[in-house]
Amino acid sequence: MDAVAGGSLALLRQPVVHYGARLADALPRIVAERGCARVLPVVTGSLRRHPMVEQTIATLGNTALPVFGDLKPHTPFNVVLALAAEIARSTPDLIVVIGGGSALDAAKVGALAANAGATDHDALLALRSVPGAQGEMRPSPVGRAVPIVAVPTTLSAAEFGMIGGATDTTTGIKHIYKSDNLAPDVVVFDPWLTAATPADLWLSTGVRSLDHGIETVLSRDANPFTDALALRGLTLLGEGLRQSHTRPDDVEARHRCQLGVWLAACGIGRVRYGASHGLGHQLGAVAGVPHGLTSCVLLPAVLAYTEPVSAGRQAWIADALGGPGRPAAEVVRDLIAALGLPTRLSDLGVDAETLSRVAESALGNAFVKANLRPVTTVDDAMAILRAAY
């Protein structure tokens, strides 16, 4: 009998996605359909006074609880615990989170912590997902209970993740939390609202979603279903990001980016990612580099490192991004540069001496452990970081 490549894939719960929708129309309808009486808005600081956001919250009337807005980049433990305490105190029947990846992770992990009754550092740490030897992520001991509506204003794709990250600021390590029900229940893609997102943030988080799609295709768990979605997502993202860069006010381009995020995110929590994500987590936690920018500087270097064991799949990636016949690392680096974004760690002002701390702390990261070409020593990790520098 001829041998064939086999495997398995669990199609886990997916959120309802309202795409090309205006928040002011979609949210009141969602709240009414669900019969909610206590809605907790979690809003990133830059959008607290945005007219579209204020108008939408006002339409909820007495249903809306006071806005929680004490959010910070990289989702530090103290923010998660403060939100968990507010959830426990106000007992909402729906959380609406408006913002980028840090806001979405705070809502997801905060809701999980509230459900577990976690009120301090050690209790929150105990809920993390501990990676196995091959980077497989064992679920957190509890899930979340309160439904979440996510309104993303960046392209981080945290709205689709069955995982969430939170940073222990005492150690500088970003921990992963995972649950089959951690992803939001409903996603609202409002391309008009995203006009308020700074251009560099929009484009760099778009590169973060390119990272999602690429490391889905290069995953140890790659399969035909996620391959098809991720590769189409890469094409939409490549087109949409280029158009967004040259025409920032083009709503159709922003809409195309959001559709690309949706497809490229198909592997979040469902397949194991690689070293671009894993090293990026620690570069963010140790050096404070935003996640979109970590992908800008690390993804090409990880592609080059992994190319010896993934040449065929990297050819698919290059083709999806409009560079057939070229090395995927070059295609991706050229796209990032064309968006006016940094492509080197040195461009970000990261001290070279910081790299060893990143490398050492990253070896325990689930995604680093799962990289298709193994990263098992500090020297392996440093080879990628030096190439990115």
Q: Where are the domains of the chain?
A: 16-188, 198-388
pTM equals: 0.91
As given in the structure block, the two tokens for residue 298 are: 């690390």
pLDDT per residue of the chain (389 residues) written in tens, 0 to 9? 577 888 887 777 789 999 999 999 999 999 999 999 999 999 999 999 999 999 999 999 999 999 999 999 889 999 999 999 999 999 999 999 999 999 999 999 999 999 999 999 999 999 999 877 676 778 888 889 999 999 999 999 999 988 899 999 999 888 989 998 899 999 999 999 999 999 999 999 999 999 999 999 999 999 999 999 999 999 999 999 999 999 999 999 999 999 999 999 999 878 999 999 999 999 988 888 988 899 999 999 999 999 999 999 999 999 999 999 999 999 999 999 999 999 999 999 898 889 999 999 999 898 999 999 999 999 999 999 999 99
Closest CA to 162 of 41, 59, 272: 272
Q: How many CB atoms lie within 10 A of CB 348?
A: 17
Alpha helices in the chain (DSSP H): 23-34, 51-59, 77-90, 101-116, 121-125, 199-217, 224-246, 251-264, 275-287, 291-306, 311-320, 328-338, 354-362, 366-369, 378-388
**SS3 assignment, position 87:** helix
Q: What CA–CA distance (Å, rounded) separates 315 from 137?
A: 28
198-388: CATH topology: Dehydroquinate synthase-like, alpha domain (1.20.1090)
Which residue, among 187, 179, 231, has the nearest Cα to 210 in the 3D structure? 231
Q: How far apart are CA 291 and CA 283, in angstroms?
A: 8
Beta pairing, strands 163-168 & 173-178: antiparallel
**Closest by CA position to 261, among listed 221, 298, 209:** 209
Domain 16-188 CATH assignment equals 3.40.50.720: no
